[in-house]
Amino acid sequence: MSEVRCVAPTGCLLGEGPLWSPSEGFLWWVDIKRAKLHRHNPRTGNTRRYDLPIHASALALADGGLIMIGDLEAGRYDTATEFYEPVCKLNEPYGFRTNDGGLAPDGSFWFGTMDDAETEPEGQYFRLLPDMSIERIGLPEVLVTNTMQFSPDGTTFYTCDSSEQMILAFDYDADTGGLSNRRVFASTLEAGCYPDGSAIDAEGYLWNAQWAGSRIVRYAPDGSIDCIVQMPVSRPTSCAFGGPDLKTLYITSARVGLSDAALDRQPMAGSLFAIDVETPGLSVQEFGHPRSV
């Protein structure tokens, strides 16, 4: 495994939602708080920033463009014309917004909502179906929804309420889309940090960004820690595999809420980072397209 390197010093307030586009060879991600979309080209090292009409929080590939969830809606974004078209809205309380998201084996886009002030534990889980309708997923309400990932064989769903400092696992029924057998997959309580976004590699190991922990942790399928990657910033937020061989792990980060003294100690907070790993990620799936398992 290589050393962690900063590939785009963007200074995002809340960088999130990294997504690799194999056809373009780009890494896309968002700055939720500033309503920005970022694009990094690893071939040239260039990074571009786009203004958005919503505070997008998670992305998925779709028909040469992007599916976005943000604020309390979902929509399509044309990366060529920079045109955003809202498609459907959520009926959630004022002050709530979407947060993390990821694709299920059937091609639906799973995501969560949360109170942006992080005071009301009433966040919900939803899925955006290929026909662009939204349905609620029957999971308990949470404070901060994060991690929406599935095991390579499609039988296990991973998620977390970051405030509880636990990564949870559920059995997933591909025929019904139902979840059962809730269990604690891993805890960050003793480490004093908070599980955030995750990525799954081809061996079924889960890589988790840990807010306030300055680290990325690779967990084995049984929940044991395989390795810990130390980060030069305290608030890594999420990660995604990219590169032509999917052996580059890209990591987003945040600077929101950090004091001036903390920012002096970590001037790269809010940047995009990368590490080269031995095990590749899963093939990048498109919205509405079932995954081969």
Could you say which DSSP state residue 220 is in?
A: P
Report pLDDT for 209.
Answer: 98
123: which 2 tokens?
């966040």
Contact (Cβ atoms closer than 8 angstroms) between residue 38 and residue 31: yes
Contact (Cβ atoms closer than 8 angstroms) between residue 173 and residue 207: no
Q: Is the pLDDT of residue 247 over 90?
A: yes
pLDDT (tens digit, 9 = 90+) per residue, 185-228?
A: 999 999 999 999 999 999 999 999 999 999 999 999 999 999 99
Q: Which of 71, 100, 115, 196 is catalytic?
A: 196
Q: Please state the rounded mean pLDDT for residues 26-48.
A: 98
Contact (Cβ atoms closer than 8 angstroms) between residue 110 and residue 101: yes
State which H helix or E strand residue 219 sits in. Answer: strand 215-219
157: which 2 tokens?
């769903």
Could you say which DSSP state residue 280 is in?
A: -
| All domains of the chain in start order, with CATH | 5-276 (2.120.10.30)
Whole-model pTM above 0.95? yes
Report pLDDT for 108.
Answer: 97
CB-CB neighbours of 271 under 10 Å: 23
Report pLDDT for 52.
Answer: 98
Report pLDDT for 292.
Answer: 76
Q: Is the pLDDT of residue 293 over 70?
A: no
pLDDT-derived band at 2 (thresholds 50, 70, 90) equals confident
Distance CA 23, CA 5 (A): 24
Average pLDDT, the chain: 96
Task: Concatenate the DSSP letters of all residues of 32-76 into one string.
Answer: TTTTEEEEEETTTTEEEEEE-SS-EEEEEEETTEEEEEETTEEEE
Distance CA 160, CA 154 (A): 18
Report pLDDT for 1.
Answer: 77
pLDDT (tens digit, 9 = 90+) per residue, 272-290?
A: 999 999 999 999 999 999 9
248: which 2 tokens?
């580059």
**Pure H helices in the chain:** 260-265
State which H helix or E strand residue 166 sits in. Answer: strand 166-172
Percent of the chain topping pLDDT 90: 97
Report pLDDT for 102.
Answer: 98
Percent of the chain topping pLDDT 70: 100
- Is 171 a known active-site residue? no
| SS3 (DSSP) at 20 | strand
